[in-house]
Structure 1
Amino acid sequence: MLKAPDILVPVDFSPTSINAVRVALGVAAPGGDLTLLHVIDREFVEDAVAAGMGSSEEITARLRQQAESNFEGALEGVEAGEVEIERMVVVGSPFVEILKIARDLDLPMIVMGVRGRSTLPEELLFGSTAEKVLRGTRVPVLCVPF
C-alpha cells in the first residue's frame, strides 16, 4: 500500500474532511506528520464585516477560536498511532492557501475530502476547491469522497 511520510489534509470540519483525516492516517508512514490545515475564507470575513458583524480582526479571532475548538472535537476518538498531527489555521483563499502551505512545507502529498455539490461539469465530481488544487499542484492528491 502507498505510504507517504508527510501529508497535508485541508479540513473544513465537514464529515467529508474528517473522513479524509482518517484516510490520511492510513496512508501516512509511521513516524510521519499529518498537517491539518483549516483556511478561514477571507471573502467570508469581508462579507461579515460588510454585514456589520464586527471588525475583520474580531471576526477572524472568533473564527480562529472556533476552528481550534472544532479541531478538538473532530480529532476526538481519532487514533493517530505513530503519526504526529499538527494543526494550522490561516486566513486567505482556500485553494491558494492549500497550494501555498503544501509548497512552503515541501509536503509530498495532499489528501482532501470532496463533496461535489456544484452543478458545473468540471466541479461536479470534485468541487471547486479540490479541482483548483488538482490543477495547481505538482504533488499527488488523494481525493476522498464523502
Structure 2
Amino acid sequence: MEFRLLGSFEACHEGESVLAGSRRQERCVLAVLLLEDGRVVTTDRLIDLLWNGNPPASARGTVHTYVGRLRARLRPYAVAIETRHDGYALVPGQHAVDVREFLDLTARAVATGDPGERLRCHGRALALWRGPLLADVADEALRGRL
C-alpha cells in the first residue's frame, strides 16, 4: 500500500486508487497516524486537530467511529491501526509513505560526499511534492499544527 500526503491525499494498492476514508476527517485521522509513523497519537490530540479546540460533545465517539471505518477499509491491504493506551498507532508494515521517502532522500543527500548523488537525491525528493501537504484534507491552520 502506498500513501501520498505531499499534495492531495492519495492511497494506492498495486497502482490502483483505494478509498482510504470517505470523509475528510477520516482521511485526516489516517494522515496524522501516517505522519507519526507508528507512534501513539492520543485521542485528545486527534480531537484537537479535527475540531481546532472546539469539539462537539460526541467527539471521542466520532474519532472511535472514524478509526473503526479506517480499520475496515485498510484491513484487506494489511494496514492495521492499533488501540494503545488512550490513542491509536498505525502498525509499521509494508506500506510506503511519500513523506518518509522524502525525509530518507534528503538525509541521504546530506550524508553523501558526492555532489552528483546529492543533486539526484534532492531532485527525487522534490519530485515527490504535488502541492501543499494534505492539500485536500488540511487547511493552513491544521497544517501548522501537524
What is the TM-score of this pair, normalised by structure 2?
0.32
Q: Identify the structure with bigger relative contact order (alpha carbons < 8 Å, sequence gap 6+).
A: 2
Larger proportion of strand: 1
What is the TM-score of this pair, normalised by structure 1?
0.32
Larger Rg: 2
